Structures are given as structure tokens and as C-alpha cells.
């Protein structure tokens, strides 16, 4: 079977799966994790506990703890270390989302009013700090220094990525190389940490621990490219909000489209992207340009390349069980609708 047919068949299969079906093999672990997570973030400070209760109602897809458990079971048995790792990851991820909402002055998160919208920015920043500190304490309380090192490195890279993006947000400064450096730090570093922590929890095989870092990084890069594709989509998620375009963020579909444009076309699109207040017509012109210049198609091909690289590298490792389940999760990540 050739590669194109394989990818087509895989996508058709995954499109029939819901996230619940994909995560079914680790549902028991996720259930235990939720209880573990709730217990760890409780506080006797009334306001803090009130905000935390509100936070717990905002259930996400749990992709990151799922990656921890999926990776762990490929190299051993899910146990206490796996739950500690997943909780640390989720605390870090949740803290960064809350801080992002404060920085972006966001009004909503997962269909709920954002914490900074209800309790103001100060409460949002302090809750994020609290969650980060809880992650550190969990690691120290259980002497999980290796997990702590991996997560601390991820926090460092995520912060560097955010600052790097601020510096290169100007249209003329963004290149394909800079784009991949930024998303590797901002998004992929945490996905990589999920895979690393999952493996650390169940194996001490140095080859596995070395390879799984890059495997997770490639999956994380594919994950972010998929997110960036949504902004230029037409049919995938109904009416896309075009937030990247409105906020003048230059992502891979636009980068590739500009590479295949004439000088005059590039000047026109750059002028439109620089506008702080774009009309609906401006946005439609940019989206049409990206489609006409195959920016979406080229970005999707790059996403598949990173996915294939990750899965091919994983096949070479001494996987005990669960490879097919992990592959189904990765395929869900690159074919999801939102």
C-alpha cells in the first residue's frame, strides 16, 4: 500500500472516532487522575478555593494527560508516578492558559467567562502562580526530581517562545525557520514533556528517554500546525474566527503562500495583514490568497511529515504494548475539527 493511500485510509478511519473512543484505553487512568488532580489543588483560602471550583468545571480535552498515560503504558505499567507526572503537566498547562488569558485580555475560555474577566487580572495571575507552585511541590513531595527537571525545562522554553514571538511578530521578521523555532518552544515543548514524563514514569531505558523527547516534539509541532490551519479553514469548523489574521499573527499557511506569490501580491497581502482593524473583505482576501497559493495544502503536508517522522521513530523503540492506541491519538490530533 503506498503512502498516500495509507494516509487517506488512516484519516478516514480516525474521522469516525470520537475523542472518547480514542482515549478509551486510558479512561480508567484518566478517572483516577481527575481525582488526584482535584485533591492536589484544593486550598483552605476561601477565594482561591472558589476560583478553583469554577476552574474545575471547565473540562478540556485532556490531551496532555492522555499523552502521559499513552506513553507510559507503551513502556510499562501506569502507576503512581504516572499520575504525579500527569498532574504536574496539567497544573503547568492550566497555569499557562490562565496567564495567557490575562495577557490577551480574553473574555472567555472553553465557553466559560475567563477567570480574569470575573475576578480581575490580579486573581488570574495569582491563581496561575499557585498552580505552578503546586506543580513544583508535588514533584518535591514525591522526590520526582527527573520529572521536575523536564517540566522546568518546558516552562523555560515556553516563556522563551512567547517572548521570541513578541519580538518577531512583525510580518517582515517572520520566516519559516523562526516560525518553527517559536512553535517548538511555545507548544511542542510541553507536548514533548508529556511524552518524556510518561516514559520516565515506567522505564529507565536511556535510548527510549532520548528518542521520546524528539518524538514528542514532532507531535507537538504537528499539533500547532493543525491549530494554525483552522484559522484559514472554510468547512472544518463552520465559520472560523480568523483570530490569527485579526491579531496579525503570521503562521505557516501564510508563510508558504507568500513564498509562492509575486512581489506585488506579497506587498498587497502584507499591507492587509498590517492593518489593525481589518474589514470582512480584507480578511476574505487574505484567506482566498492563502488558498490560491496552496498555503493550506503545503502546511498540511508539513504537518503530516512531522507526524510520520514521530510514528516511524516510535516503531523503532521497544514498545511493550499500546502502539496502535498511541497512533490513533496522534491521528486524532492532526484530523480533529477544533
pLDDT for 218-230, tens place per residue? 999 999 999 999 9
Residue 191 has what pLDDT? Answer: 97
Residue 305 has what pLDDT? Answer: 98
Residues 6+ apart with CB under 8 A from 39: none
Residue-range domain boundaries for the chain: 3-335
Residues 6+ apart with CB under 8 A from 211: 313, 314, 316, 317
Mean pLDDT (the chain) is 89
Q: Is 97 helix (H, G, I), strand (E, B) or coil?
A: helix
Residue 124 has what pLDDT? Answer: 87
Q: Environment class of residue 207 by beta-carbon count within 10 Å: exposed (0-12), middle (13-18) or buried (19+)?
A: exposed
Q: Extract the C-alpha cell encoding 310.
A: 514521530
pLDDT for 280-336, tens place per residue? 999 999 999 999 999 999 999 999 999 999 999 999 999 999 999 999 999 999 998
Residue 312 has what pLDDT? Answer: 97
Residues 6+ apart with CB under 8 A from 238: none
Is residue 218 within 8 Å of residue 309, measured between CB atoms?
yes
pLDDT of 110 higher than 80? no
Q: Environment class of residue 162 by beta-carbon count within 10 Å: exposed (0-12), middle (13-18) or buried (19+)?
A: middle
Residue 2 has what pLDDT? Answer: 40
**10 vs 217: CA distance, rounded Å:** 22
Residue 239 has what pLDDT? Answer: 52
As a whole number, mean pLDDT of residues 110-121 equals 84
As a whole number, mean pLDDT of residues 230-254 equals 80
Residue 118 has what pLDDT? Answer: 86
Residue 169 confidence class, pLDDT cut points 50, 70, 90:
low
* Fold of the domain spanning 3-335: Farnesyl Diphosphate Synthase (1.10.600)
Secondary structure in 3-state letters for 150-215: HHHHHHHHHHHHHHHHHHCCCHHHCCHHHHHHHHHHHHHHHHHHHHHHHHHCCCCCHHHHHHHHHH
Residue 235 has what pLDDT? Answer: 54
**85 vs 95: CA distance, rounded Å:** 16
**37 vs 221: CA distance, rounded Å:** 27
Amino acid at each position: 500500500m503506498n503512502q498516500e493511500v495509507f494516509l487517506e485510509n488512516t484519516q478516514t478511519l480516525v474521522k469516525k472516532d470520537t475523542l472518547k473512543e480514542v482515549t478509551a484505553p486510558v479512561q480508567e487512568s484518566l478517572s483516577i487522575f481527575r481525582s488526584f488532580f482535584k485533591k492536589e489543588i484544593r486550598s483552605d483560602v476561601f477565594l482561591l478555593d472558589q476560583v478553583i471550583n469554577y476552574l474545575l468545571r471547565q473540562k478540556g480535552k485532556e490531551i496532555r494527560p492522555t499523552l502521559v498515560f499513552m506513553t507510559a503504558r507503551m513502556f510499562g505499567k501506569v502507576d503512581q508516578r504516572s499520575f504525579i507526572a500527569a498532574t504536574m503537566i496539567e497544573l503547568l498547562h492550566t497555569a499557562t492558559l490562565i496567564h495567557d488569558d490575562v495577557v490577551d485580555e480574553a473574555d472567555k475560555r472553553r465557553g466559560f467567562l475567563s477567570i480574569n474577566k470575573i475576578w480581575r487580572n490580579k486573581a488570574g495571575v495569582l491563581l496561575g502562580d499557585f498552580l505552578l507552585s503546586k506543580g513544583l511541590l508535588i514533584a518535591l513531595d514525591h522526590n520526582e526530581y527527573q520529572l521536575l527537571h523536564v517540566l522546568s525545562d518546558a516552562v523555560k522554553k515556553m516563556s522563551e517562545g512567547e517572548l521570541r514571538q513578541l519580538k518577531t511578530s512583525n510580518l517582515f521578521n517572520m520566516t519559516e525557520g523562526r516560525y518553527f523555532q517559536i512553535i517548538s518552544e511555545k507548544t511542542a515543548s510541553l507536548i514533548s514533556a508529556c511524552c518524556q514524563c510518561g516514559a520516565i514514569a515506567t522505564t529507565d531505558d536511556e535510548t527510549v528517554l532520548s528518542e521520546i523527547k524528539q518524538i514528542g516534539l514532532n507531535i507537538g509541532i504537528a499539533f500547532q500546525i493543525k491549530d494554525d490551519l483552522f484559522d484559514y479553514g472554510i468547512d472544518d469548523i463552520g465559520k472560523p474566527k480568523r483570530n490569527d489574521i485579526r491579531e496579525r499573527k503570521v503562521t505557516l499557511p501564510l508563510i508558504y503562500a507568500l513564498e509562492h506569490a509575486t512581489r506585488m501580491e506579497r506587498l498587497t497581502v502584507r499591507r492587509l495583514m498590517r492593518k489593525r482593524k481589518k474589514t470582512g473583505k480584507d480578511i476574505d482576501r487574505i484567506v482566498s490568497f492563502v488558498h490560491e497559493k496552496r498555503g493550506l495544502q503545503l502546511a498540511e503536508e508539513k504537518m503530516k511529515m512531522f507526524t510520520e517522522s514521530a510514528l516511524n521513530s516510535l516503531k523503532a523503540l521497544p514498545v511493550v504494548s499500546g502502539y496502535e492506541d498511541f497512533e490513533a491519538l496522534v491521528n486524532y490530533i492532526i484530523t480533529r475539527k477544533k
